[in-house]
Amino acid sequence: MRRPLTGGMMTAVAVGLAALVAVAADDPPPAPVGRKALPAGDVVPLIEQLASRDYREREKANKALNALGDRALPHLKAAMAKSDSPEAQRRLEVMVTRMERELFLAPSRVSLKAKNQPMKTTLKDLCRQAGYELKNDPMLAHRVTMEFDNLPFWEAVARVCDPPGVRLDLVNDDKGDFQAYAAGEQTSPYTCVSGPFRFTANNISTSRSVQLANIPKAGPANNGEYLNLNGMVQGEPKCPLVGQGGGVIVTKAVDDTGADMAPPAGGQVIAYQPGNYYRAQTQGFNVNLTRGSRDAKVIKELRGKMGLVLLSETRPGVVVDKLAEVKKGKFAGTHTDLDVSEVTVAENSFSLAATFRQRDLDPNDHNWWNGVIQRMQLLDDHGQKWVMSNIEQSGTGVGTMTAKMTFAPADPKKAGKPVKFQIVEWVTVRTEVEFCFKNIPLP
């Protein structure tokens, strides 16, 4: 997983400035994709100062390190991992956690300087700069002459692809890669970019109602026209979408006559739901509006915010090792327990029959089993991840499911022996993302 967030608070037991100096001088981990780490000489002296006996010196260093931003992050993480200073540990943990969250939620930035360059070469370069890969070999005759610097990834994609009619779409896998193809005359003009997220308005529908019963004697009937805008949101591959926060809040909606179109109370309240999520490259959303004026031709401006749940990291949950020796057994996980009834290992094939049980049963969690399927992994002794080729299952999927899964290697020529089956757990980040559409035509 690219750019994972840091886990729980690390502990230290003794103040030791000398130890902190030695740690900070070690080779740091690599810098974030597309970002060059600052030289150690610009960061290490400030890290040393975090363990000073003088409170004012510690505060001064803390402020200076925060000002350096994520380019100092590799050095901060290296020091945090090994420092013996409790005071430095506390300050480093706060800084690293904040910087990694900001980095995770920030757009990847790319640059381009192309003169009559093949479109395929251009797209591969943009993906590479952002840490992604163009998986296919698109047959694109288009050539690119363009120059820009430090643009957010989705904005750069729109600038390069939209004029010639080229589509760059996410591949539906867990690696977060892309494929490109010619889109012809089709286009999606109503889009907006918000950090690492791209919103697209797909369609808008309308319904009218006339109240015929229980009409107020003292006033007009509660007649009206209601609009529903349907759209989708995509995150960069570094921000996989696994859930929504309950709906969309409309903060502003006006038509070209100036009439207000916002629904009562701004729409649905964003309320994050606990439980098991389902990973998807695209999440759909709906915006409910009211008709402001029958003379209006367009929604002049629509602003809102949407709650999203993102996958930031994966951790082992249920782990079954030494598969060749396993016949039956019970394995407890963090959120899912596993009762294995049969294991079959053959050349380029592996099958496992088991009953899966949701720990802390939630009868309303209808996505639990789909989430479990997505989190299953089979690894061989070469480190290759096998793919599920078939699944036979029985049960309602709520709390308990019996299934037999068959796996095959992604690349048989490089396959080893299956050694580990696991169900990973997802570490998620919740955020609210703002969007803005303009001049959307009304039906």
Question: Average of pLDDT values for 215-221?
Answer: 74
Angle among Cα 392, 395, 401 to the nearest 5 degrees reads: 75
Min mean pLDDT across 18-27, 28-37, 100-109, 328-337 is at 18-27
**Inter-residue contact 283 to 241 (CB < 8 Å):** yes
Question: What is the value of pTM for the model shown?
Answer: 0.79
| Residue 123 within a domain | yes
**Percent of the chain with pLDDT strictly greater than 90:** 44
pLDDT in tens, 347-371: 889 999 999 999 888 787 777 888 8
Query: Which residues span the domain enclosing 288?
Result: 198-208+225-313+430-441
Based on the domain organization, do 268 and 327 belong to the same domain?
Answer: no
CATH code of 229's domain: 2.60.40
Instruction: Give the domain-ending residue among 76, 104, 132.
Output: 104
| Residue 1 within a domain | no
Query: Other CB atoms closer than 10 Å to residue 352's CB: what's the count?
Result: 23
pLDDT at 273 over 90: no
**Percent of the chain with pLDDT strictly greater than 70:** 88
pLDDT in tens, 149-184: 999 999 999 999 988 889 998 886 666 789 999 988
| Residue 235 within a domain | yes
Rounded to the nearest integer, the mean pLDDT of the chain is 84
Based on the domain organization, do 419 and 434 belong to the same domain?
Answer: no
Min mean pLDDT across 25-39, 130-144, 176-190 is at 25-39
Angle among Cα 160, 164, 165 to the nearest 5 degrees reads: 100
User: Going by C-beta distance under 8 Å and a sequence separation of 6 or more, which residues neighbour residue 2?
Assistant: 33, 131, 176, 237, 238
What is the total count of domains within the chain?
4
Based on the domain organization, do 338 and 307 belong to the same domain?
Answer: no
CATH code of 134's domain: 3.55.50.30
| Residue 163 within a domain | yes
| Residue 216 within a domain | no
Based on the domain organization, do 243 and 165 belong to the same domain?
Answer: no
